[in-house]
Chains A and B, each alone.
Chain A
Amino acid sequence: MTRTTPWLFLAPALVLFAAFKFTPMWRAIEMSFHEVRPYLGDRWVGWANYQQVATDEDFLAAIGQTIVLALGQTAGSIIIGLALALLLEGSARQLWIVRTAVFLPTVAAMAVVAEVWRILYYPAPDGTMNTILGWLGAGPSQFLNGEDSSLLSVMAVGIWRGAPYDMMIFLAGLAGVDRTLYEASAADGAGIFRRIWHVTLPSLRPVFAILFTLAAIRGLRVFTEVFLLTNGGPNGSTEVLMTLIYKLGLERGELGVAAAGSMILLLATVLLTLAVQFSRARGQKR
């Protein structure tokens, strides 16, 4: 039993991490400073890749759209998730069935979800969503095919998929709310909305903290839904950081520039996560 013993126990995990996480990461950092040409040898370009990323209009637009999409999806999922959780809280058998049904979108494979939504969004007047809009006297909308509506349409799919997940976390949180607080506030004459505002929401504070942390990490890395629904189009109106990095790296073969973009994304994710953690720690102190 010496100082090395704990390291020996850690070794298997460290080795695996090194092989599958740290080595690729180190390689990505290296690539971000090179023009990458696998068979011709990489060429050192210094900060040029970063400069290209930071000054590229497309990148700046993608950053903006990523933030809008992240905020919209997070807010939408939390609000709808909370509403669902409040509606579906309880232990009755029927509720259990409804909850399972509501949770399905989160379980379904994204590729399937995207293809189904593309069909629902078919932008002709006789498309499914447009028919529904027609009943309400609105539309027809271009949905994914209109520059103004594409980002909102992608966001709606994200919320549709994310809300049930948030609902589950809220349900777990709601189970922990002290019942006597409800009874006490009811005795004081508080109506349903006052009870939600003064009892439920404050009790759910830790749940919100978890959801915001998850959202901060996930929001910036949104990729699959955009890639499958619009691939960044039309006219770049739904381009997000990850789809742009993917395009640059793997469609145009600019691996160096794409690596630089990834590094910036990593930095932003770390900063955002720390910010959420920091504000959470401060909130707990109060």
Chain B
Amino acid sequence: MLSRPAAKLAAALVTALALAGTSACGSDPAAPAGDPTAPIEIWVRKPPGSNTEKTHVALAAKFTEKTGIKANVTALFDDFETKLQQAAAQKKLPDIVVNDTAQLGTLVKQGLVRDVEQSKIDGSGDLTPAAWDAAKGADGKFYAVPFSAQSFALFIRKDWREKLGAPLPSTWDQLDELATSFTTKDPDGNGKPDTYGYVIPGSTKRGYLDWYFSSFLWAAGGDYFSGKTGSLSPAISSTPSVAAAQWLKDQFCTDKSVVPGAITSETTQAHPMFETGKGGIYFTGPYNMARFDKSLGKDKYEVVALPAGPGGKSASLAEGENVYLMAGSKNPEGQEKFAEYLIGVDGQTIGMAADTDGNVVRLPVNKNVDLAKVRADKRWLVFDKVYKDAGRYNPVVPEWTPFRQASAEALSAIVANCGSDTKGELTKLADKFAAELKKQGTGS
């Protein structure tokens, strides 16, 4: 026979199991209980231990000082969305998530975020209207509070360019020419053909390749969709879109000016290619300046806007981070207060972290913050100008992730196989887009 304590333990386990079983099967949406003093749990997509994490911790501390509400920051970087899905499956979401604007649709679709009434957020009127666009769902409601904005620009190895006596590119042809010279003319002077032009994060993971490509697509006059929000039809196989993809393919297949291994590189694997002098042209975001200043040297590279494409347009993917107020919070009021603090002049200024690499606000979303006053580094103004003149957010659809993923896979098919039929692949992609639009109920 079982000894008594063991029997008790077994009984307790069985009971606990039964309870766990019932609670796991419940499907009622957790109603906010509303405890205005409950601590706020915050997840940020930043590398743990980084200075950006420290900035978020500082922001949370200031918030606690101001409101008396405790706030605890958890920094996660790799597979952030996966971990969030896991937390959601256990119904243990954090109260606040600060993450990419592009995640909005997915979060809304799964019901992981609650909607935000603009009028209820103090200081919402101080934010730039463009920034609010990034917080809008396909149904026109707002599901987040914008926190940070950013655009993209070309990082070019200045020392290489000057050594070869090449001008700063002002057209795409010149850009390609520069990339080819970097590949063939030994700009680092080590006598070996071990340098290349473009650094590209070409993995399909998280849709990186499409994320990289979108600015070029728009600048070439192409687009993902035509029509208005709610009645979209695919434009990804249109002539300018095909030309943009062909241009990308030529870099891989004809000019061979792309760093080897690009097709399976994520950003974490692409950054070192630029830092270690494998590639000399990298189209990326301002957050890399601090890193490259340290690893490569500020004098070694320059930051310039992407020249207008053959379509005569300038374009840059605009994105940034939103403050998401997650579902099931014990303290909805505290969630709003935290968001209000982050978008205020104080929160934004602390978040910008002057010229250090701890910046979590890339470009401020609050009109009353003067970028040039907070930061002495003039390169930020390049990104600011690009954002204001040519910034474009991802198309507004209920869920952007499937489009991004499908597009990245199609582009991967095009550039990975030089014998591929660019137009044919994009036509197939357009069919997938049409099916997905229909599935999401926004097709024409």
Interface residues of A, Cβ cutoff 8 Å to B: 1, 5, 8-9, 11-12, 15-16, 18-19, 23, 27, 37-42, 118, 121-127, 142, 144-147, 229-237, 247, 249-253, 255
* Chain B stretch 222-250: residues in CB contact (< 8 A) with chain A: none
B361, chain A: closest CB distance, angstroms: 27
- Residues of the B chain whose Cβ atoms lie less than 8 Å from the Cβ of A146: 416
Give the dominant DSSP class at A's interface: loop
Binds A, one of B27-35, B171-179, B378-386: B27-35
- 8 Å CB contact of B28 from A41, A126, A229: A41
How far is B85's CA from A249's CA once the two chains are assembled, in angstroms?
A: 9
Interface residues of B (CB under 8 A from A): 1-2, 6-7, 9-10, 13-14, 17, 20-21, 24, 27-30, 79, 81-82, 85-86, 88-89, 91, 106, 109-112, 192-194, 203-206, 260-264, 266, 269, 327-328, 401-402, 405, 409, 412-413, 416-417
Q: Which residues of A lie under 8 Å from residue B263 when comparing CB positions?
A: 145, 233-234
Q: Is the CB of B193 within 8 A of A37?
A: no
**Which residues on the A side are within 8 Å of B17 (C-beta)?**
15, 18-19, 23
Inter-subunit contact A252/B13 (CB<8 Å): no
| A12-B10, A233-B263 known; A42-B409 Cβ under 8 A | no
Residue of B nearest to A236 (CB): B409
**Known contacts A23-B21, A23-B24, A38-B110; A15/B416 CB under 8 A:** no
Q: Complex Cα distance A253/B89, Å? A: 10
Whether the pair A231, B264 counts as a contact (CB closer than 8 A) is: yes
Q: Write the nearest CB–CB distance from B297 to chain A, whole angstroms.
A: 24
- Distance to closest chain A CB from B320 (angstroms): 21
- List residues of chain A with CB within 8 A of the CB of B417: 147, 235
Assuming A23-B17, A146-B416, A232-B204, is B194 touching A124 (CB within 8 A)? yes
| A–B pairs, 22, beta carbons within 8 Å | A9-B2, A11-B2, A12-B13, A15-B17, A23-B20, A38-B91, A39-B30, A39-B88, A39-B110, A39-B111, A39-B327, A39-B328, A41-B29, A42-B27, A124-B194, A229-B264, A230-B264, A232-B204, A235-B416, A235-B417, A250-B81, A250-B82
Cβ contact within 8 Å between B416 and A145: yes
B327: chain A residues at CB < 8 Å are 39
A38: contacting residue among B10, B111, B264, B405, CB under 8 A = B111
Chain B neighbourhood of A18, CB < 8 A: 17
Q: Are B14 and A145 in contact (CB under 8 A)?
A: no
Q: Is the CB of A8 within 8 A of B29?
A: no
- In the complex where A39-B328, A145-B262 touch, is A251 in contact with B82 (Cβ < 8 A)? yes
From known contacts A8-B7, A18-B17, A147-B417, infer whether A37 and B110 are also in contact, taking CB-CB under 8 Å: yes
Total residue contacts A-B, CB cutoff 8 A: 132
CB-nearest residue of chain A relative to B113? A39
Closest partner residue, chain B, to A124 (CB atom): B260
Docked-complex contact B260 and A122, CB < 8 angstroms: yes
In the docked arrangement, what's the CA distance between A237 and B13, Å?
A: 46
Contacts of A144 in B (CB 8 A): 261, 264
Contact of A253 among B20, B110, B409, B416 (CB under 8 A): B110
Contact (Cβ within 8 A) B264 A39: no
**Do A233 and B260 have beta carbons less than 8 Å apart?**
no
- A231–B205 contact, CB under 8 A? yes
Q: Are A40 and B29 in contact (CB under 8 A)?
A: yes
Chain B neighbourhood of A229, CB < 8 A: 264
Taking a contact as CB atoms closer than 8 A, the residue among B14, B82, B194, B328 that contacts A126 in the complex is: B194
Besides A39-B91, A235-B413, 9 other CB < 8 A contacts? A12-B6, A12-B9, A15-B14, A16-B13, A23-B21, A37-B111, A40-B110, A122-B260, A250-B85
Q: Which residues of B contact A121 (CB under 8 A)?
A: 261
Taking CB as reference atom, which chain B residue is nearest A30? B25
In the complex, A86→B299 CA distance in Å?
A: 59
Partner of B24, one of A27, A235, A247: A27
Point out the residues of chain A lying under 8 angstroms from B85, CB to CB.
249-250, 253, 255
Taking a contact as CB atoms under 8 Å apart, the answer to whether A125 and B24 are in contact is: no
| Distance between Cα atoms of A232 and B30 in the complex (Å) | 37
Least Cβ–Cβ distance between A134 and chain B, in angstroms: 13
Closest residue on chain A to residue B85 by CB atoms: A250
Pick from B10, B111, B266, B409: contact of A11, CB under 8 Å: B10
Knowing A11-B10, A124-B194, the reply to whether A251 touches B405 (Cβ < 8 A) is yes
B260 touches A251 (CB 8 A): no
Partner of B13, one of A15, A232, A234: A15
Min Cβ gap B267→A in Å is 13
Partner of A39, one of B29, B262, B401, B409: B29
Complex CA–CA separation, A249 to B29 (angstroms): 21
Residue on A with the closest CB to B411?
Answer: A235
Complex interface: chain A residues within 8 A of B413 (CB): 235-236
- Contact call B13/A145, Cβ cutoff below 8 A: no
Cβ-defined contact, B260 with A127, below 8 A: yes
CB closest chain-B residue, reference A58: B409
Chain A residues positioned under 8 Å from B266 (CB to CB): 231
Known: A231-B205, A253-B106. A145 touches B264 (CB 8 A): yes
